[in-house]
Amino acid sequence: MTKREEYEQKTEKLLLPIMERKNFELVDVEYVKEGRNYYLRAYIDKEGGITIDDCEEVSRELSDLLDAEDFIPDAYFMEISSPGLGRQLKKDKDFARSIGEEVEVKLYKPMNGTKELTGILEAFDEANILLQVSEKDTLTIPRAGIALVKLAINF
């Protein structure tokens, strides 16, 4: 396990009781380096959408727990936020929640002459996703070949 994975898992364990108590959903936790800085980010949501006040409350509680546990030796910035409109689908629960939704898929290698596809997510399993790209065409896309899946943003 990498230190990134370790920090993310430990942070998730600290966050889960807070999420359960507040009836929020923990969408994702990530520990990343951007430029010279490290960031510990948690993305949270709830029915009807997350507010700034919700993020602030979770941030205060998590900050106290992180100070007490002190398992990240690097200096880092902690951010608590909504996953946003173009939410990335990473976990099975993200895919399950997004069945029937329009998604954008970016591939490592071209499929049918393109590395970017948009369509309706029809189904998924541990190996593939099923994407309806037109009224008549549905593609089976191996998950191992997918660089990114996110909800499409339509205005």
Kindly give the confidence (pLDDT) of every residue in the chain, 155 residues in length, as a single tens digit, with 9 standing for 90 and above: 899 999 999 999 999 999 999 999 999 999 999 999 999 999 999 988 899 999 999 999 999 999 999 999 999 999 999 988 888 898 888 899 899 999 999 999 998 899 999 999 999 999 999 999 999 999 999 999 999 999 998 77
Half-sphere exposure for 108 (CA within 13 Å, toward CB): 7
Q: Which helix (H) or strand (E) holds 17?
A: helix 3-22
Single-letter amino acid, residue 90: K
Q: What is the pLDDT of residue 25?
A: 92
Q: What is the pTM of this model?
A: 0.76
Strand-pairing partners, residue 31, are: 40
Burial pattern 33-64, b for ≥16 Cβ within 10 A else e, equals: eeeeebebbbbbbeeeebeeebbeebbebbee
Cα-based distances in Å from 106 to 68, 109, 150? 40, 9, 9
Q: What confidence score (pLDDT) does residue 87 get? A: 84
Q: Read out DSSP for 50-77?
A: --HHHHHHHHHHHHHHHHHH----S-EE
Query: So what's the pLDDT on residue 132?
Result: 95
What is the model's pLDDT at position 150? Answer: 93
CA distance 33 to 27: 20
In order, the DSSP letters of 81-121 are E---TTPBP-SHHHHHHTTTSEEEEEEEEEETTEEEEEEEE
- Domains of the chain, with CATH numbers? 3-81 (3.30.300.70), 92-151 (2.30.30.100)
- Do you know the residue count of the chain? 155
